[in-house]
Structure formats: C-alpha cells, structure tokens
Structure 1
C-alpha cells in the first residue's frame, strides 16, 4: 500500500462511489454530476452532468463504459463516451438504499428495504425477478471479482 494524494475537495460531500476500468467514479447525490479519478492519470475530472432523474439513492455500478445509478424504482445509465443518459424500465417496486452490481455483464439490483432481487434483461428491456434473499437488506454493498 502507498498513500495517494487525491484532491477530495474537488468533489461534493454527497457522492456514491464505484469502480471500473481502473478508475473510480463518483455520482453526486444532489446534482447527479459524475466525476472520474484514474490513478494512472491523477486528479478528479467532471465527466457528465444533469441526469434525467434528479437524485441518486445509495448505489452505482460500472460496466463496459456505462455507469448505472438508482433512486426508488428508477435506474438510469450514462454512456461515458458520449455523455448520453438513458432511463431503464421501472423496477417492480420502490427501493431505498438498494445495491446495484454487475456480474459477468449482467446488471442486478439487490434489496433496498426488501429481500427482492431483480436482473435487467437488456435484450427485452425489462427487469426480471430472481430468487429472493433470505432476509431484506438496506444499504448493503456488492462487488464482482
């Protein structure tokens, strides 16, 4: 381990974080601005702004050039190459502090005050329920290795 000098003052205090392609991403909870920090380059950069929904709720995930964020029963993504936002179909239920995770290219949303788990079926542009967790979770974390 070694200490990295990272200018966290460049970010708002209300961000959710995820990682992908060797970089960290931060989504500002209130403004929906997106920031990126790549250790190889150093320094935070503002890369996208003004999402279709006006705030995020707890979770973000990265997959193949897209960043996903959630609020309630809504999930949206931003293409980091173009800055283009897209709102995905609504989830089956409202969630609070849910967890987004991409596993082998598949996007899942887990918990959020519930035991339910849904997978996004991209080819059909819909969410599919999969077996529930043994108990409901709120504010959990997930990572795929």
Structure 2
C-alpha cells in the first residue's frame, strides 16, 4: 500500500523574527496614554490664558472694565485656587489667607461710554477652603 503524503508548509511570522512595527505601535500607544494627563493639563492652562490676557489685566488697569465679562464667564463653575487667581490677576492687596479678594476695575462708564467720576467698580472674588466660590462685579 502506497500512501502519498503531502507535506504542507505553513508560513509563520515567528520564523522571520520580531515584528518591529507592531512593537513600535504598541510603545507609541502606551506613551500617548501615559502622557495624556500632561497634555490635558497644558491644554487647560493655555486655553484659559488665550482667552484672558493676564498680562494686560496686570499692566493696564484702564482696560480691566472691558475684560471683566470674559473673565467672569470663564471663572464661573471653575475650581481655581487662590494661588492660581493671584498668578492670573496679580496681588489684590490685603494679607493672606485671602477669603475675599477684590481688584479695581476703574471708573464706571455711562451709556455713552464716557467714564463717570462719581462711580467706581471692583471685581470681587470670594474663596471657601482656598477654592473659588463666588465671582461678581460691584460698582458704587
């Protein structure tokens, strides 16, 4: 009896060695996931500073009144610490620990856009446990 057996060869990647493309993709995905919190933190930091220019706020007090609406919109529902607020807005005066901070917004403007000498405005920020609690503007 004569049986003819055919030997079938199966090609395998293990014969070639290590698949470097799969290893490099795996490493790239791992590094991306590992550094994701850093990228998110950087994005949050620069996204806020892009909309609100803290340098102009600190160096040109006469422009604060026009900037305050953008600032209050961004501060609402946020959890900024007193250190971050001081970094952004500068020293409000007073002594630590800060429970309530206020910054001058300059003279109030009437409907015509002319400053009024009898009205002055402030930005007031209240902190609870070193976290932002309330943001409001006050004019008198």
Could you say which structure has the larger radius of gyration?
Answer: 2
Superposed pair shares fold, TM > 0.5: no
From the two aligned structures, give the one with the greater strand fraction.
Answer: 1
- Normalising by the smaller structure, the TM-score range is under 0.3
TM-score normalized by the length of structure 2: 0.28
